[in-house]
Amino acid sequence: MATVNSRRKVGIGLLGSGVVGEAIQDILFHDLKGQVGSDVELELRKIYTRSPQGKKWFGKRKALFTSRPEEVLDHPGVDIVIEALGFQAAKQLPQFRDYILRAFRNGKSVVTSDKAVLARYGKEIWSAAKSSGQQLRFEACVGGGIPVIRSLSESFAVEQPEAVFGIVNGTCNYILSQMEKSGKPYAEALAEAQQKGYAETNPASDVNGSDAEAKLLLLSMVAFGLQIEPGKIWRKGIEEIQAVDFRYAQRIGASTIKQLAVARRRGAAVQVFVSPALVSGENFLAGVDGATNAICFAGTSSSGGRGGRDCDYVLVGPGAGGGPTAVAVLGDVCELARGTRKFSGLPSLVPPGTLKLQREDEIDVPFYVRFVVKDRAGIVGDIGKTFGRMGVNISEIWQLRHVEDELRGLMQSYKLKQKSGDVLPFVMTLERTTLRQMRRALDSIRNRDYILVEPVWFPIWSSN
């Protein structure tokens, strides 16, 4: 057995000392004390942060901190650079990309938790890793502490991927869970998420779906070899969801509403989107509560496929937070330090270029549509005729009895001035139709004089 003195030391440079960066320091300085097995020792040799003073470990490890990133990137004793700067604004991404490229040029491998920079500049970064012969790891970019990237690229390597989908944003899942449990309006549920630290002061990237989009692009890359730029897929946020939608969801197959990130194969194309979705209570994802993430994988192996199951594997765990993310980062660091898994090219189950992205307008799913209209005769029939002209078939129509407080809460959310007795919410569920047909129908309906608020619509989840 190797002695302490015979352990091989691997130098680590850390960019960032925020929530994740500090958790990494806690583990290396306190929990692991740098030891990785019997033969490798990790040694944190430089930490970059804009304001070192006041950081947790600054008093005890002052010499390690710097306010100059080049002291990490150019440090001769650093073998692996951890990029954990934390995405705040799009204008930062080019600089974060440049840090990663500079590390490669200096002969250093990189571990990143920054999904946004990989989603935006992945093609360039992977090319640079390959040409420099350096390694890139990004387990912490998707699912926090859930080992989904490693599972896709290694454990499921013999599978022919059919779908990867699930709940990849804990903030949205927490908000929707609270709305369902307590009947709170969206604004109150969001405020609670912020108070408990599940949502940022500016929660836009979470609630509008862009965080989930960045994670989904990475999952699509690993599963299907797709290299998609942000903004090129269909994306809907959760901001329009109201408590009343959960009442209707409960009546429609005892369902609930979850924000889903979906990539599934359609012949030679892959259907990719992020949206809230109506999920049946019988589906595993319906029971995923709070800030938890759950990622499902479906494949067709040589043994014969799924046999009608929604998916083959489900990976569940904490999707965010300093501790779980730091564990995922250091898992990648340990792999690099031990040299157990080497690839500098794009890790993908399907060779890049084999499949293409399905056109957004061709996405075809069943839909949930909630209307709030003036309470008068003939409206349901008029909307039904409009859908019919667009080739859209109605499955069911739901009109629940709403108590006065519920109607007032809905009207307050939309700042409506009508009397509660003059306002009518109702829901239509639609058979499978394309986004193109759906948008054309709603373009025709939304300007009718009886429409009080923009119709709320999103997919009904189906595994096929």
Enzyme catalytic residues: 215
Q: How far apart are CA 42 and CA 24, in angstroms?
A: 12
H/E segment holding residue 270: strand 269-279
Where in 2-134 does DSSP place strands (E)?
8-15, 35-36, 40-48, 65-66, 80-83, 109-112
For CA atoms 359, 437, 427, 366, give the dihedral sign: negative
Where are the strands (E) in 133-215, listed by range?
Answer: 136-137, 160-167
Please report which helix (H) or strand (E) contains residue 94, including its range.
helix 93-105
Q: How many CB atoms lie within 10 A of CB 251?
A: 13
Longest dimension (CA), the chain: 85
Question: Cβ distance 362 to 435 under 8 Å?
Answer: yes
Task: Give burial (CB, 10 Å; 0-12/13-18/19+) of 3.
Answer: exposed
DSSP 115-132: HHHHHHHHHHHHHHHHHH
CA pair distance 229, 214, nearest whole angstrom: 9
Return all residues near 217 (Cβ < 8 A) that are at least 6 apart: 119, 122, 226, 228, 230, 233
> 298: closest CA among 264, 249, 256, 335?
264
DSSP SS3 for 136: strand
- In the structure encoding, which two tokens stand for residue 433, read together? 């139709």
